[in-house]
Structure 1
């Protein structure tokens, strides 16, 4: 007994300290209290590192801790993001049979329907969110409808329902992420840099962002794809896109995987590739079909465009371009640059697809990681929860800079002070200088490690 206490003293102490900090984070923290926020967050990262890298806990011990940490948030109202109010509004509107893509919350008085707690939801989401049409794809909307179905008259009840769905998605990622790591002959503990990450627990479970649901469908798709079941993988990728549009970025990267046994495309491999893309597109179209109309297309595309041409937050390359623009023309060039940057990202991803060998799982996953890195570096808006995708992909590669990013991104919350929004560009510079520096070191200066090039059957 004494030996067991000695053996588990450090992990038990680390777990207890994490519990204390997570409870404080969930129930006793305001977004404007930046010093308190970053102190709690730093402590959580330190003790999570000890649990993952320095303890001798078994897989299911760590998995159990990950679930416990998430359940601590179960009755907490998100305190770092107000987006969930919009989720509830969309879900309650759609539950009554009205498309959230056709009406903005601030025009709800003309809808002819009654949204329970409408005033509270609109006030909670803020005037900027309330003045725009929904940009959340249909499968994402389905989760909001489930919250309306089970707790349509209670904000807290709806929050609990959404949180349970997000926790279940993360458990699914843990399960299939473990299987992919086994396929790739990589350390199983890598998956806990996602599942035990304070960033993931706080941003997804705590703040109710559905990147986890998107990533669950995508990880399951990858698991099936690497087992040769590309038909169902394509369907799941389509569902993933219909939660969040980000997986569209990765589609060109599958190009060479379909001919990895040959030097050039055969008729069969080309046909399978076309079927793969057709199934993805068909699945996405099927989920959007109930909402399709000329109004929907106009509203949805215009709202998506806002993220590139109007909104700016925690950007890197764009902020440098913006500064240069002010020096040359004297005004913010976001409307012009916001149209060009996505084209540059597309060319980069296509170059990865055509000029890089992505013929085995390790190469494909690494290409995906650098595709999303390039996209985020050139984005005009990078909210903290966007880092969930590169963080999960890094689990299956040798690169660790997304783990550093998942810590450094907390600096972006310094913008939310007691006197309103005021972004500190010095802290943004520190964030990106650190992340890019680590990425460059891993790419060019770290001692090269041998990487598995094949997968094994489970």
Structure 2
């Protein structure tokens, strides 16, 4: 046993390397049983490494980087989105606007505007190739860099895209650690994100660009903490220009600029007391300085995004882009929670799928919840703001029609600055959503979806109750 404890961490690292290597080069997403076993084993190793008291912070950083480098020369095997990334980048390089052109149109007309066009179209799939791109401008810039450096080799483009993501992950580690130090939170928390197998496989392995978005977001939050709010606005704007999801957080910055003022209010003495007492109350003060900073902050964010979209402007841009984004609310369905309940109710009373109606209602519910959190909950200091961001985003994810696994990267990074770990549990059970790909054709088994969300909600309820018992504010 002493031998085991002495070399336990080395064994965990070695075992993880072997499993990641299998994931990278020998696994297909249709092999769900094998995928599930390897996933659970990786999470076991991950948890034990996090809890180890013998491994230093620097060593864990090196391990996190090594695990990512295992995927460096692998072709993503759990996602096909990267084919569209390469397509968009090469189209821009050739002078085409990806927001107003469809891959399907070129292929059907027998045109090959870029190298390996047929291979890329076949790889991305008919569904992806028949819709306009919904990737914002800075994301397109990453695709363009890959096209510039490798315009004729898919493997070379994959390598470039992966290096960009790994560099972004290193940047997240750097600024997240600095922010954790400032907030007096254990710096080891960062490894709930950085060493998480879900993050390593879905981001570095499958080439999803959430890390680039999160790099700008965490960097921006660090600058916001330093009161450098103009630079923070620029960085958060860049985050939105990679992935649109940080748009959801913008109202939550209201209290950061419009500070509550503590006032003393006299309370009349009771019959048993002769002395008046004072109680503290908070009241919003809409001072000119705070409002002007808030407006400027929002102005910078929106102006930068408008400027970044300008090179792609055409009369069809707004229509095509809004229609493409709208598909996630009105057409696509995957791994949803409450939406599937609403859908079944629709079938029961109307006899058909009500996604067109439900898809319009659920964003309204998210907006209402967002406004409630913005104005009726204390969102300062920064720890409270991170908690608000976490719960607003998860409310949206709990009601959305489509939740792809890689979406969880954002709540996972937000959670390391809070008391909550349910996103870590979610990152474990999200693998159940991949059961849909084991079927041909693609088909979800809703029992797997039910188990996934049952585990998540039970743990979330446990954490909320535990938080209340310790007199903390959600």
TM-score by length of 2: 0.92
Q: CA deviation at 1:170?
A: 0.5
Q: Secondary structure at the match of 2:353?
A: coil
Q: Which residue of 1 aligns with 2:257?
A: 258
The reply on whether 1:360 has 2:360 as its aligned counterpart is no
User: Which runs of structure 2 are paired with 1:221-236 in the superposition (5 Å)?
Assistant: 221-236=220-235
- Aligned mate of 1:71, from 69, 72, 81: 69
Q: Which residue of 1 aligns with 2:193?
A: 194
8 Å CA contact 2:254–2:294 kept in 1: the answer is yes
CA distance in 2, matches of 1:113, 1:31: 29
Q: Which residue of 2 aligns with 1:455?
A: none
Q: CA deviation at 1:114?
A: 2.2
CA distance in 2, matches of 1:446, 1:236: 32
Q: Which residue of 2 aligns with 1:12?
A: 10
User: Which runs of structure 2 are paired with 1:91-106 in the superposition (5 Å)?
Assistant: 91-106=89-104
Q: Which residue of 1 aligns with 2:80?
A: 82
Q: CA deviation at 1:259?
A: 2.8
Structure 2 vs 1, CA of residues 161 and 451 (structure 1 numbering), >3 Å: closer, same or farther? farther
Q: CA deviation at 1:81?
A: 0.4
The reply on whether 1:415 has 2:414 as its aligned counterpart is no
Q: Secondary structure at the match of 2:113?
A: coil
Structure 1 residue runs of 5 or longer lacking an equivalent are 453-458
Q: CA deviation at 1:265?
A: 2.2
Q: Which residue of 2 aligns with 1:399?
A: 420
Q: Which residue of 1 aligns with 2:133?
A: 134
Q: CA deviation at 1:7?
A: 6.8
Q: Secondary structure at the match of 1:255?
A: helix
Q: Which residue of 1 aligns with 2:27?
A: 29
CA distance in 2, matches of 1:25, 1:242: 31
Q: Deviations over 1:306-340 (max 9, x none)?
A: 01000000000000000000000000000111111
8 Å CA contact 2:112–2:118 kept in 1: the answer is no
| Number of aligned positions between the proteins | 450
Q: CA deviation at 1:11?
A: 1.1
8 Å CA contact 1:11–1:55 kept in 2: the answer is no
Q: CA deviation at 1:448?
A: 4.5
CA distance in 2, matches of 1:378, 1:160: 36
Find the structure with the greater CA-based Rg.
2
Structure 2 residue runs of 5 or longer lacking an equivalent are 262-282
- Aligned mate of 1:54, from 35, 52, 55: 52
- Aligned mate of 2:450, from 402, 409, 429: 429
Q: CA deviation at 1:419?
A: 2.1
- Aligned mate of 1:317, from 329, 338, 356: 338
CA distance in 2, matches of 1:436, 1:42: 20
Q: Deviations over 1:267-310 (max 9, x none)?
A: 10111111111011111111111112220111000000001000
Q: Which residue of 2 aligns with 1:456?
A: none
- Aligned mate of 2:290, from 258, 269, 272: 269
Q: CA deviation at 1:260?
A: 2.9
The reply on whether 1:331 has 2:352 as its aligned counterpart is yes
Structure 2 vs 1, CA of residues 316 and 196 (structure 1 numbering), >3 Å: closer, same or farther? same
8 Å CA contact 1:10–1:55 kept in 2: the answer is no
More displaced 10-residue stretch of structure 1: 139-148 or 438-447: 438-447
Q: Which residue of 1 aligns with 2:371?
A: 350
User: Which runs of structure 2 are paired with 1:367-382 in the superposition (5 Å)?
Assistant: 367-382=388-403
Root-mean-square deviation (Å): 1.7
Please list every run of at least 4 consecutive aligned residues from structure 1 whose deviation after the TM superposition is greater than 4 angstroms. 5-8, 109-113, 446-452
8 Å CA contact 2:137–2:309 kept in 1: the answer is yes
Q: Secondary structure at the match of 2:463?
A: helix
Q: Deviations over 1:354-387 (max 9, x none)?
A: 1111121011000000011000001000000000
More displaced 10-residue stretch of structure 1: 312-321 or 110-119: 110-119
8 Å CA contact 2:259–2:290 kept in 1: the answer is no
